[in-house]
Structure 1
Amino acid sequence: MSVKKKRRLWMRTVILVVLFAAVAFTLYASLTKDKAKIAIGDKAPDFVLTDMEGNKHQLSEYKGKGVFINFWATWCKPCKVEMPHINTQYNEYKDQGVAVLGINMGDSTLLIDNFLDKQDLDFPILEDKSKDVIELYNIYKLPATIIIDSDGVIVDIVEGQLPEGRIKAMMERIKPE
């Protein structure tokens, strides 16, 4: 074998080993990453998202209000069922210090707009295109609801569709005194 071929073989082997090491490290890091779980009683992690009108919403700016966060997607049938109930209760509690934030789980703006054309919602719909907030809050099942008291503390975490009576009770629970 010529010197050039040996050198080429050596370089290819080194590159292959480095590439394999990088892939192995990436897999190890993502599989062993300790994701902090949020829990009732924890301070709600802060985030900033933009609504469908282009307005920015930062969770920490809602301090002093109860916050009802609903994670949803356009393809989620239970989400479609509970949205009108959330809207009804939002309209009842918005003047009593309760805010509602609907956070979409990564759908395109077009899909969200089409969904909202069929719904008559008054609360802000925020886009989480990168799914950073969904990951921050460990949301895996939809719909998911997190309620936060006026001090920014998580009061309840619920996965699954909520009946209107439960939504009302949750808003009553986080309504500032």
Structure 2
Amino acid sequence: MKKQQRLVMRTVILLLLLAALGYTIYANFFTEKTAVAVGSTAPDFVLSDLEGREHRLTDYRGKGVFLNFWGTWCKPCEREMPYMNELYPIYQKQGVEILAVNVGEPKLNVEKFAERFGLTFPIVIDRQDQVLNAYGVGPLPTTFLIDKNGKVKKIITGTMTKEDIKQHLESIKP
């Protein structure tokens, strides 16, 4: 009888542990981690670009900001970068900035990537993942569309086509 009780108890404990593990996996990989909500003010930050110039998000007030979180190892990021680069000069003239936030990679890796694709928009490196965490970014690429008043208009997770990017840039023109 005691053997059977121990077996039942062990089975219950094992099932509880498996349920906890399943929930943890679900919560970390299949739910939105975004700490910034649509309609909220985008958290301010200061990051340096590849030339050492500081970029503060609030310096872009009055303009739309296409804030893109990415990594050099991220294939979907790699696919959308040329589209962003092609559209950047067109929309920059219309008051929209593209600001690409690299997720803490070595500067040399980011520079090589930027050179390979001839990227002309500002690229900043979030060395300590402070901005990544402040925005609650999960999978890459993740893009925040920020209007001229600094409010988050939309959050896009995953790769975008050229047409998607164009529509999003249009939506944040001042």
| Matched AA of 1:133 | V
Larger radius of gyration: 1
Structure-to-structure mapping, 1:34-49, within 5 angstroms = 37-49=35-47
Shift in Å, 1:116: 1.5
- TM-score, normalised to structure 2's length? 0.79
Please name the residue that 2:162 is paired with: 164
Please name the residue that 1:153 is paired with: 151
Moved over 6 A (4+): none
Instruction: Tell me, in whole angstroms, the C-alpha distance in 1 between the residues paired with 2:80 and 2:131.
Output: 21
Instruction: Tell me, in whole angstroms, the C-alpha distance in 1 between the residues paired with 2:35 and 2:157.
Output: 15
Instruction: Tell me, in whole angstroms, the C-alpha distance in 2 between the residues paired with 1:117 and 1:37.
Output: 32
Taking a change above 3 Å as real, the CA distance of residues 36 and 170 of structure 1, as seen in their structure-2 partners, is: closer
Instruction: Tell me, in whole angstroms, the C-alpha distance in 2 between the residues paired with 1:95 and 1:163.
Output: 21
Instruction: Tell me, in whole angstroms, the C-alpha distance in 1 between the residues paired with 2:85 and 2:67.
Output: 12
SS in 2 for 1:96: coil
| Matched AA of 1:135 | N
Please name the residue that 2:54 is paired with: 56
| Matched AA of 1:114 | K
Structure-to-structure mapping, 1:118-133, within 5 angstroms = 118-133=116-131
| Unaligned ranges ≥5, structure 2 | 1-32
Instruction: Tell me, in whole angstroms, the C-alpha distance in 2 between the residues paired with 1:127 and 1:99.
Output: 17
SS in 1 for 2:119: coil
Q: Percent of aligned positions with the same letter in both sequences?
A: 45
- TM-score, normalised to structure 1's length? 0.78
User: Can you list the C-alpha shifts for 1:107-141, whole angstroms capped at 9, x where unaligned?
Assistant: 10111112112111110000101010000000110
Please name the residue that 1:144 is paired with: 142
Please name the residue that 1:79 is paired with: 77
Shift in Å, 1:95: 0.6
Shift in Å, 1:58: 0.3
Q: Is the 8 A contact 2:34 2:137 kept in 1?
A: no
Q: Is the 8 A contact 2:34 2:138 kept in 1?
A: no
User: Can you list the C-alpha shifts for 1:15-68, whole angstroms capped at 9, x where unaligned?
Assistant: xxxxxxxxxxxxxxxxxxxx9821100011100000000000000010000000
Please name the residue that 1:95 is paired with: 93
Instruction: Tell me, in whole angstroms, the C-alpha distance in 2 between the residues paired with 1:157 and 1:37.
Output: 11
Instruction: Tell me, in whole angstroms, the C-alpha distance in 2 between the residues paired with 1:36 and 1:50.
Output: 23
| Matched AA of 1:107 | E
SS in 2 for 1:61: helix
Number of residues paired by the alignment? 142
| Matched AA of 1:156 | K
Taking a change above 3 Å as real, the CA distance of residues 122 and 56 of structure 1, as seen in their structure-2 partners, is: same
Instruction: Tell me, in whole angstroms, the C-alpha distance in 2 between the residues paired with 1:90 and 1:113.
Output: 18
